[in-house]
């Protein structure tokens, strides 16, 4: 009999946002975030809009769009990691 490693709970919006910010630190395209954060493009676009409005990411539009975590986003990520380390998330 095969055993599957199944995720037993859903990720919160905070966890998904933190995943996106972590992946986008170096500046990446949407596809990298989709695979890294295990999202679909529709959901990713919703999160990117919210994160951009909050000033946590910046989109560099050109031939290909690059998404990069801003300094404010890095601070958010540091706070998230601190709370996670204390067991509060």
Domains by residue range for the chain, with CATH: 13-85 (1.10.10.10)
Q: How confident is the model at residue 42 (pLDDT cuts 50, 70, 90)?
A: very high
Q: What percent of the chain has pLDDT over 90?
A: 78
Distances in Å between the alpha carbon of 10 and those of 6, 7, 15, 16, 69? 11, 7, 10, 10, 24
Residue 1 has pLDDT above 50, yes or no: no
- Reduce the DSSP state of residue 68 to 3 states and report it: strand
pTM of the model: 0.86
Residue 59 has pLDDT above 90, yes or no: yes
Q: Residue 68 — φ and ψ, nearest 5°?
A: -135, 140
């Amino acid at each position: 009999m095969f055993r599957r490693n199944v995720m037993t709970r859903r990720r919160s919006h905070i966890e998904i946002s933190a995943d996106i910010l972590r992946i986008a630190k170096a500046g990446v395209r949407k596809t990298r975030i989709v695979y890294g954060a295990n999202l679909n493009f529709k959901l990713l676009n919703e999160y990117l809009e919210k994160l951009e409005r909050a000033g946590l990411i910046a989109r560099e539009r050109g031939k290909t769009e690059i998404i990069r975590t801003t300094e404010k986003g890095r601070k958010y990520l540091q706070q998230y990691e601190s709370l996670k380390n204390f067991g509060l998330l």
